Chains A and B, each alone.
Chain A
């Protein structure tokens, strides 16, 4: 290994863990501390902006130790600042479930972070999410809003706040969809809104089906869903979809499919 790369690795080791690692040799400590401050402030400000609720519900000590552990133990691969939040979620997935930490974190930490990250990812979805017009609900082929993501949660992550902290998992998981709606306002300015929606299990099946197989009509969907929901007839499902689909379209969760 080249000498200069050894020096760089020592710098990085120390920057990740200034209290534990030995500082690079023959370098003024006062000046090194400038780098320590810059690296930490930068990463912390990105994480804090991406996870405001988590930062608020954890104690100051929990939050600080989580940030320290992230900087020290996680080796971020993405060069994009927009992905630091994603790196943080990946880190939490294993870290909060491991015994690596002396401090314990609330059981919902990882899932709340996932939920907060879904909002950012909806904003970052590359496709335009302007709902197109629909003429006839019955014969239109459908697809899911391209920004829509959903996930099951064992905690009511959408209501967590300092006064409303769950201490046990829900008896049944809940499904939450997060998606973006775009429009041009009256001044022809582009604007985006991110929306959240808790979904019942049947709607969840429907969204999942359409994400895997875009372009199905209501009749197609009824046939496909009846395979998973044998307690309902195709006719019953089709009747139900005739009210559900326009509702989901109104909410801009479903778009007419165009290929």
Chain B
């Protein structure tokens, strides 16, 4: 079986991708980094799109925000996704605005009420986009409230919104250290049928009990183990390698993509 492994597309190496057309199964982009960025951005994305499948991973939808859902933004997003014919749209189970944007991902309080509120907004977004929304389990450094567990919160949102999960195994690992739980138990408890996409990335160890989800380092072996475990538990799903800081040359990243691929092939 051939597992699909993609790489986060960055402007830092975009011209190398266009020049050398490396063998990558798909690329992932953040629509917010390409919308309203001028003619050159559209031109480049068209060239990428001619040669590769592209997934999208939003940053600013702020699905859990106390502010009203920005429907005009969601409609712009639809125009963008349609324009580049991108069907997979994922976002963070998080929020980044409250009385205006703060441009960083914050943890939604884990309450039943919050989960239902998020689920209703996800449905609305799916209606406007005419696409499924995949929600990603996010990393966090301190919970805002734990009326229910993080796991129960995620499960409730997925069920009530009837949506899919983007399983980020690095985020599970980071959270398991930061909040002292077993990452294997956590992954095993997630609903297999909803896991349709995965992320893997590197993190930074600020203290032995505090990992920061930087996407700025190589993937750690513990995280590869979690990916292998997730495949055993839930079957195959496409995985994307994220790298957003300390970006090495493209050929170095492509080697890491191969390592991710080897994890899934070892199990096949």
Interface residues of A (CB under 8 A from B): 2-5, 7-9, 11-12, 15-16, 24, 27-28, 31-32, 34-35, 38-39, 42-43, 46, 74-84, 123-129, 180, 182, 189-190, 192
> What does the 1/0 interface line of B140-182 toward A look like (CB < 8 Å)?
0110110000000000000000000000000000000010000
> How many B residues touch A, CB cutoff 8 Å?
45
A38 to B40, CA, bound (A): 30
* From A27, A39, A124, A128, contact of B103 by CB (8 A): A39
The answer to whether B102 touches A7 (Cβ under 8 A) is no
Q: Which 4 A/B pairs are nearest by Cβ-Cβ distance?
A: A75-B100, A31-B142, A79-B60, A12-B98
* From B32, B99, B206, B212, contact of A81 by CB (8 A): B32
User: Does B210 sit within 8 A of A, measured CB to CB?
Assistant: yes
* From A8, A24, A27, contact of B66 by CB (8 A): A8
User: Does B113 sit within 8 A of A, measured CB to CB?
Assistant: yes
A2/B142 contact (C-beta < 8 A), A39-B104, A79-B62, A81-B32 known: no
Which residues of B are found within 8 Å of A28, using beta-carbon distances? 142
Interface pairs (22), CB distance under 8 Å: A4-B144, A5-B66, A8-B108, A9-B99, A12-B98, A12-B99, A15-B106, A31-B178, A34-B142, A35-B142, A42-B104, A43-B103, A74-B100, A76-B97, A76-B100, A79-B97, A80-B60, A81-B59, A125-B39, A126-B36, A128-B39, A190-B43
A129 to B44, CA, bound (A): 15
Interface residues of B (CB under 8 A from A): 15, 32-33, 35-40, 42-44, 59-62, 64-66, 70, 73, 95, 97-104, 106, 108-109, 111, 113-114, 117, 141-142, 144-145, 178, 206, 210, 212
CB distance from A246 to the nearest CB of B (A): 25
Which residues of A are found within 8 Å of B35, using beta-carbon distances? 80, 82
Per DSSP, chain A at the interface is helix
The answer to whether B38 touches A8 (Cβ under 8 A) is no
CB distance from B68 to the nearest CB of A (A): 11
* From A38, A75, A82, A129, contact of B37 by CB (8 A): A82
A27 to B179, CA, bound (A): 13
CB distance from B96 to the nearest CB of A (A): 8
CB distance from B165 to the nearest CB of A (A): 21
Which residues of B are found within 8 Å of A3, using beta-carbon distances? 109, 111, 113
Which residues of B are found within 8 Å of A8, using beta-carbon distances? 64-66, 95, 98, 106, 108-109, 144
CB distance from A102 to the nearest CB of B (A): 23
A24 to B15, CA, bound (A): 45
CB distance from A225 to the nearest CB of B (A): 31
Which residues of A are found within 8 Å of B142, using beta-carbon distances? 27-28, 31-32, 34-35
The answer to whether A11 touches B113 (Cβ under 8 A) is no
A39/B102 contact (C-beta < 8 A), A4-B108, A8-B144 known: yes
Which residues of B are found within 8 Å of A39, using beta-carbon distances? 102-104
The answer to whether B141 touches A12 (Cβ under 8 A) is no
CB distance from A77 to the nearest CB of B (A): 7
* From B73, B102, B212, contact of A15 by CB (8 A): B102
* From A5, A126, A180, contact of B42 by CB (8 A): A126
CB distance from B247 to the nearest CB of A (A): 15
A27 to B39, CA, bound (A): 45
The answer to whether A126 touches B66 (Cβ under 8 A) is no
Q: Which residue of B lies closest to A15 (CB)?
A: B102
A2/B113 contact (C-beta < 8 A), A8-B98, A83-B36 known: yes
Which residues of B are found within 8 Å of A78, using beta-carbon distances? 101
CB distance from B246 to the nearest CB of A (A): 14
A125/B38 contact (C-beta < 8 A), A3-B113, A4-B109, A81-B32 known: yes
The answer to whether B103 touches A75 (Cβ under 8 A) is no
The answer to whether A35 touches B100 (Cβ under 8 A) is no
Which residues of B are found within 8 Å of A84, using beta-carbon distances? 103
A46 to B38, CA, bound (A): 18
The answer to whether B40 touches A192 (Cβ under 8 A) is yes
